[in-house]
Amino acid sequence: MSGNIRLLDDTLAAAKAEGRSALIAYLPAGFPTVDGGIAAVKAVFDGGADVVEVGLPHSDPVLDGPVIQTADDIALRGGLKIRDVLRTVREAYAATGKPVLVMTYWNPIDRYGVERFTAELAEAGGAGCILPDLPVQESALWREHAAKHGLATVFVVAPSSKDERLATITAAGSGFVYAASLMGVTGTRESVGEQAQELVRRTKATTGLPVCVGLGVSNARHAAQVAGFADGVIVGSAFVRRMLDAEDEAAGLAAVRALAGELADGVRGKA
């Protein structure tokens, strides 16, 4: 079975045709439980997300801030396995028909086996993978198998990336480019500044791929700001925080559904 890179491409193109940015949500698998995590992904789609990134929790994350680290710890202590991540993708895609990616560090895939992981992610209906710590120059094996199975390979660029490096990264990627709006780890910020806009401008000069911005977006005002210059707005910690702060799972699902609705209004200029 082929993966859903085309669905991802079509979804991002449809948002552009509507004159808006796509809303991309991030939630870790297995949080607060495997079933609860699946329900949360469905809830953010119900609220208005166009795409969801399902995080594969890692014991030593380098990009994730304290909010996502807390959720990852809960998932790992609950015994989360890669098969649970793939189940999350499968059930979310089956229920919604919308693109679901996995965001993961490289080590778990390397241990699981690249061929096995790409084949199983495609079989689950996945659209691709975001690989924040896989160097492009070491990515040939992954990209070969991802392409064979119809999966996008999304690389991360940062404000520190030189123009030549941006061109190398974007030439190797597919689906979209993940532009980290600032240096540092994930988490909500008071504002998402000019650094992000300049990074998007520089990245777009190297590629025709959509450029989507993450790290720091937490409310409709941020979403509207970023939507003014990016093809997609990526929100993670704000969703996880809503789940962590909720008194129970039902309240958490209602909270992330509501936040998705607010952010969806933001990317449409209705905030």
List active site positions: 53, 64
The amino acid occupying position 38 is: I
Strand-pairing partners, residue 211, are 177
**Strands 51-55 and 100-103: what pairing?**
parallel
Cα 10–Cα 237–Cα 70 angle in degrees, nearest 5: 130
Residue 228, judged by CB atoms within 10 A of its CB (0-12, 13-18, 19+), counts as exposed
Residue 46, judged by CB atoms within 10 A of its CB (0-12, 13-18, 19+), counts as middle
Short-list 165, 214, 154, 160, CA closest to 189: 214
Short-list 218, 236, 268, CA closest to 48: 268
